[in-house]
Amino acid sequence: MATAAPAFAPLAREEHEALIEVSGLERTFMVGDEPLTVLRGIDFTIPRGAYVAIIGPSGSGKSTLMYQLGCLDTPSAGTVRLAGYDVGSLDDAELAALRNRFIGFVFQAFNLLPRTTAVDNVALPLRYAGVGLRERRRRAREALGRVALSHREDHTPERLSGGERQRVAIARAIVTEPALLLCDEPTGNLDQKVGREIVELFERLNDELGVTVIIVTHDPSLARRVRRVIKLVDGRLVHDGPPTADL
Amino acid sequence: MLDHILSALQALTANKVRSALTMLGVIIGVLAVTLLVSVGDGARAYIDKTLSGIGTNLLIVQPGRRETRGLGGPPTGNISRPLTMDDVTALKRQGTLLRDVSPIVAGGGAIRFENRQRDSTVFGVGAGFGDLRNMHVDVGSFIREEDLTARRRVAVVGRTVAKALFGNDSPLGRTVRISDGRFRIVGILEKKGTSLGFDLDDLVFIPATTASDLFHQDFLSQILTAARNKAEVQQAILQIEEILARRRNGENEVTVQSQDDLIGVLGTVTSAMTAALLAIASVSLLVGGIGIMNIMLVSVRERTREIGVRRALGATRHDILLQFLIEALVLATVGGLIGLGIGGGLIAAVNSAAPDVPLKLSPWIATIAFGASFAVGIASGVVPARRAAELDPVDALRYE
Ligand SMILES: Nc1ncnc2c1ncn2[C@@H]1O[C@H](COP(=O)(O)OP(=O)(O)OP(=O)(O)O)[C@@H](O)[C@H]1O
Ligand SMILES: [Mg+2]
């Protein structure tokens, strides 16, 4: 009874050159009776295989933008296109299928299911893709291998270190072989050394698998390692290009 | 589907203590349903069995016309003519559909032997009474026809009476005093035990004619008879009414009840009792259901973040709805099965330890109990599951 994936259009679409096209994006929340505009007209395009950091002060709308790119939320105005699909025009089941198929999420708080083994955590997205139990486990082990955690397959999150937990979360994000990894402050809960290892893991995945990686971060040293930085201030895009010294 | 059940089990075993406590409500509810309804059902079976055991196709003739429909007795009941030995004779002669006919004169009294005494029920009966009521003597003989015609002072006593007056000595041939008459004991009844609360061994039978003399009452309490076979019960009733009406200027002044009427009346009583017990037990099941709903609501709140993560990983609203619904359903049905198991075990234990206690687990009770726990699961899961499904994924992810 897993969600039937909507009939996604043929290859031509998947090969759509730009993975993400954002134009005139606005997002307004109602806080009580007051409208609060958090994203105020944002435009950018991200090609397949890119490696991008999104930075900006706290409250500037980075997470809100990420939810838009992740098809968890839809624009108040403007459009977000993912692999050619106009996110604003899809219904709940279609958005769910799009997330399941194209996107892997990595959160600051790891967000693993408690008291559930690493394999079962990693296998979870495959359940919503309608993959059978055996195949799910097999692919979950494979993904855990990619993050060098094969020896922790049957551990529950409670018995893993912070860095290991985040690696399990990354394995969960890549197990469906998504085109896009969306990471919201993935190193925020980790110390510097472990954070560095996680970043290197993202770089390798980007390199080896060609997966598009977008990382929201506060960490200037991380931002300096990427080729492209998008900076938000107060809901507006103030910088889009290679990292600069004043970031 | 199996996937959903497996992951529900996983979620529930992840929080064993809470799941167990939640199930407790349903376990107790189903246990209550099972036990209480088994008590009602057992009582019915017991009454059926007992009433079938007192004889076959019995018919009881009582003085006075009583309409079975409507409430209260009609006034004719008071002014009708009593039943007499002549009625018995007429029924014996003309009752072609009747197996046997026995007068009954009910009385009571102290039975004394030397300085010992017992208060028992004394019945004046006819020779046919023993066969009609399946009450036979072990030793000696039952009241005979000539005892009635000669108005003899003879008595047949039950085991309890015999024991009370004579201990381990044989009472046969001894003389006892009943009221102010002296009676010779001619027979001892075989042991019957208690039935519907009556000690069937605490009885004394004397000839009906003698009883009339003794109690200074020349009419009968009842006439006991029986149809020759089951198919003729209704015709036999009509025949009795006809014969007795002919002796009363054509007026029908008696009421004839069949054994089946009696079973039917008590059957409706026990059915009502079973229904009442079921209603009481349902309340506890309802409470169990509310318990599940509460815990599920708490669980949805606590797992808000998890719901957001699942949505991010590709779960639809429908997936989330099913997940929580199935968790509630698994809690309820597993609780139901445990309750049923405990109930069945207890009943089996009681049945083997005390075979006399009327307690019976019939399949329909088990089916109802399980079905009810399933329904409780659905009912208590819907609200929490819908709440979970309606959560906005971003709000769920931002939830602290
Ligand atoms: N659902 C919502 N309802 C109301 N206000 C919201 C909602 N989501 C976000 N906001 C507001 O929008 C602004 C931007 O939030 P957002 O989480 O995108 O910031 P951020 O850049 O990720 O900040 P941080 O670096 O602290 O994570 C904040 O002021 C926040 O309170
Ligand atoms: Mg944020």
Local confidence pLDDT in tens for the 400 residues of chain B: 777 888 888 888 878 888 888 899 899 999 988 888 888 888 888 888 888 888 889 999 998 887 553 333 444 444 578 999 999 999 999 999 999 999 999 987 789 998 899 998 899 999 999 999 999 999 999 999 999 999 999 999 999 999 999 998 999 999 999 988 899 999 999 998 877 777 889 999 999 999 999 888 889 999 999 999 889 999 999 999 999 999 988 888 899 999 888 888 888 888 888 888 888 888 888 888 998 899 999 999 999 999 999 999 999 999 999 999 999 999 999 999 999 999 999 999 988 888 877 787 888 888 988 898 999 999 999 999 999 999 999 999 999 8
- What tokens were used for B294? 């509460």
d(Cα A17, Cα A24) in Å, to the nearest integer? 20
Closest C-alpha residue for ligand 1 atom 4: A29
Residue of B nearest to A176 (CA): B313
Rounded to 10 degrees, the C-alpha dihedral B17/B20/B25/B31 comes to -150
Q: What is the ipTM metric for this complex?
A: 0.92
> Residue A56 CA: which ligand 1 atom is closest?
21
3-state helix, strand, coil in chain A (%, to 5): 35, 25, 35
The torsion angles phi and psi of B77, rounded to 5 degrees, stand at -60, -30
- In a mutational test of the A interface, the residue from B6, B17, B309, B399 whose CB has the highest number of chain A CBs within 10 Å is B309
Residue of A nearest to B16 (CA): A115
For the record, the structure tokens of B103 come out as 């007068």
Contacts of A107 in chain B (CB under 8 A): 309, 397
Ligand 1 atom closest to A38 (CA): 12
| B41, B274 Cβ separation under 8 angstroms | yes
| Three-class secondary structure of residue A103 per DSSP | strand
* B3/A133 CB distance under 8 A: yes
What confidence score (pLDDT) does residue A16 get? Answer: 53
Q: Which amino acid is at A139?
A: R
Question: Would the pLDDT of A236 be above 80?
Answer: yes
Domains annotated for chain A, with CATH where assigned, are 50-73+91-241 (3.40.50.300)
Return d(Cα A229, Cα B246) in angstroms, integer. 117
Question: CB-hemisphere CA count at 13 Å for B111?
Answer: 32
CB contact under 8 A, A67 and B315: no
Q: What is the pLDDT of residue A15?
A: 53
Residue of A nearest to B10 (CA): A116
Which residue lies with its CA nearest to atom 22 of ligand 1? A63
Q: Tell me how far CA of residue B195 lies from CA of A15, A134, A143, B50, B205, in angstroms.
A: 88, 64, 75, 7, 18
Pocket probe for ligand 1: among A64, A67, A108, A230, the residue whose CB has the most ligand atoms within 8 Å is: A64
Distance CA B45, CA B361 (A): 11
Contact criterion met (CB below 8 Å) for B250 and B337: no
Name every chain B residue with its beta carbon within 8 A of the beta carbon of A176: 314
Q: Residue B44 has which token pair?
A: 């019915």
CA of B326 to the centre of ligand 2 (A): 34
Judging contacts by C-beta atoms under 8 Å, the chain A residues touching residue B317 are 92-93
User: Cα separation of B34 and B31, whole Å?
Assistant: 5
> Contact at 8 Å (CB) between A195 and A219?
yes
Rounded CA-CA distance B148/B105 in Å is 12
Q: SS3 of B119, please?
A: strand
pLDDT of residue A3: 45
Model-level pTM? 0.77
The overall longest dimension of chain B from CA atoms, in Å, is 104
B7 touches chain A (CB under 8 A): yes
Q: Which ligand is nearest to the CA of A60?
A: 1
Element at B139 (helix H, strand E): strand B137-140
Structure tokens at B126: 């006819």
Q: What is the pLDDT of residue A180?
A: 97
